[in-house]
């Protein structure tokens, strides 16, 4: 029988994140040598990385940093919520975020090529895949630069890490209005900052649907242009940040709230895990 104790099993599980059975098998094979057992777990785990490529990652977390007029938002995904709320996964996400900030990455490809602890982020994730036993990936990265950048993270469930993350860039105003609008973005999920950013094809499609719906409802032909315009404007009010009714005061638009605070929004980014 291999020479190891229950304490050795516990320590190896905590250091590698591997399952109980895998840890016991590795210690048996290594005759109780924890260093060798760690290597065995890593080698066997890395062999399984390719097999996990096709698995679905619909859980995970969003993490963010905002300092010195630069904000970074990163979405790190895994397969199960059990892993997502684990300490090891949280520590891994912290390392990935630090690498994103340091490398100034603005997309997942740039971040995966960045260096952390003497290895690429991709190699770091492969190692985590091996020890944790789930497919783990960086899905999205966003970078916002502005005179003031506000970051907001929101938990949709108390026992899970943040599932929604927001960065908001502003000029003027104060930290409070930036945080308030960032919270609004988290709740109301705008797709663009201004209506000019809405794709022309999308606008035309909304206009067509509005006209066909109005005709189906039997609206008078003479009233169609006004009805269609009203419904297209309704689309803008639902999807354009500056035209949305503000979460804390629906009588005001977000644009009005920013104006009253002496602020102008320049850009924003919003991630929701798996969305």
CA nearest neighbour of 138 among 104, 90, 103, 96: 96
Answer whether 265's CB lies under 8 Å from 190's CB: no
Q: Is residue 14's pLDDT more than 80?
A: no
Top-confidence residue, 14 or 219:
219
Judged by average pLDDT, the poorest of 1-5, 58-62, 82-86, 164-168 is: 1-5
C-alpha distances out from residue 275 to 15, 58, 189, 271, Å? 31, 8, 11, 7
- Tens digits of per-residue pLDDT, 57-75? 789 999 999 999 999 999 9
Average pLDDT for 182-205: 96
So what's the pLDDT on residue 36?
Answer: 87
So what's the pLDDT on residue 48?
Answer: 46
Q: Is residue 97's pLDDT more than 60?
A: yes
Q: How many CB atoms lie within 10 A of CB 127?
A: 19
- Domains, the chain, in order of start with CATH, read 6-47 (1.10.8.10), 59-192+262-272 (3.30.479.20)
So what's the pLDDT on residue 8?
Answer: 87
- Tens digits of per-residue pLDDT, 206-242? 999 999 999 988 999 999 999 999 999 999 999 999 9
Q: pLDDT over 90 for what percent of the chain?
A: 68
So what's the pLDDT on residue 52?
Answer: 46
Average pLDDT for 167-171: 97
Concatenated DSSP letters of the chain? -----HHHHHHHHHHH---HHHHHHHHHHTTT-HHHHHHHHHHHHHHTHHHHTTS---EEEEEEEEETTEEEEEEEEES-HHHHTSHHHHHHHHHHHHHHHHHT--SHHHHHHSEETTEEHHHHHHHHHHHH-S--EEEEEEEEESSEEEEEEE-SSTTS---EEEEEEEEES-HHHHHHHHHHHHHH--SBSSGGGS-HHHHHHHHHHHHHHHHHTT--GGGHHHHHHHHHHHHHHHHBGGGSEETTEEEEEHHHHHHHTTEEEEEEEEEETT-
Q: Is residue 30's pLDDT more than 50?
A: yes
So what's the pLDDT on residue 272?
Answer: 96
* Position 23 confidence tier, pLDDT thresholds 50, 70, 90: confident
- Tens digits of per-residue pLDDT, 113-166? 999 989 999 999 988 887 777 889 999 999 999 999 999 999 999 999 999 999
Q: What is the mean pLDDT of the chain?
A: 90
So what's the pLDDT on residue 47?
Answer: 43
Average pLDDT for 6-14: 82
Q: Which two tokens stand for residue 80?
A: 């199960």
* Position 39 confidence tier, pLDDT thresholds 50, 70, 90: confident
* Position 18 confidence tier, pLDDT thresholds 50, 70, 90: low
Q: How far apart are CA 145 and CA 267, in angstroms?
A: 8
So what's the pLDDT on residue 46?
Answer: 46
């Amino acid at each position: 029988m291999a020479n190891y104790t229950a304490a050795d099993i516990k320590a190896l599980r905590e250091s590698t994140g591997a399952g109980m059975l895998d840890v016991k098998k590795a210690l048996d094979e290594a005759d109780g040598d924890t260093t060798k057992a760690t290597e065995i777990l890593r080698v066997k785990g890395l062999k399984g990385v390719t097999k996990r490529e096709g698995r679905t990652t619909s859980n995970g977390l969003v993490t963010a940093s905002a300092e010195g007029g630069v904000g970074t938002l990163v979405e790190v995904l895994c397969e199960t919520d059990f892993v997502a709320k684990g300490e090891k996964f949280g520590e891994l996400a912290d390392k990935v975020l630090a690498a994103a900030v340091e490398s100034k990455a603005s997309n997942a490809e740039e971040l995966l090529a960045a260096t952390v602890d003497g290895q690429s982020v991709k190699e770091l994730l492969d190692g985590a895949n091996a020890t944790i036993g789930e497919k783990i990936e960086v899905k999205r990265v966003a970078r916002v630069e502005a005179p003031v950048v506000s970051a907001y993270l929101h938990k949709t469930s108390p026992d899970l890490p943040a599932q929604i993350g927001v960065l908001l860039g502003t000029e003027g105003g104060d930290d409070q209005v930036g945080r308030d609008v960032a919270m609004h973005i988290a709740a109301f999920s705008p797709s663009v900052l201004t209506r000019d950013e809405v794709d022309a094809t999308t606008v035309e499609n909304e206009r067509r649907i509005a006209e066909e719906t109005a005709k189906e409802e039997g609206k008078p032909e003479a009233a169609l242009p006004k009805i269609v315009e009203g419904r297209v404007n309704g689309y803008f009010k639902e999807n354009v940040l500056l035209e949305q009714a503000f979460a804390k005061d629906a009588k005001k638009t977000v644009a009005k709230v920013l104006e009253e605070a002496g602020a102008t929004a320049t850009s924003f980014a919003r991630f929701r895990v798996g969305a």
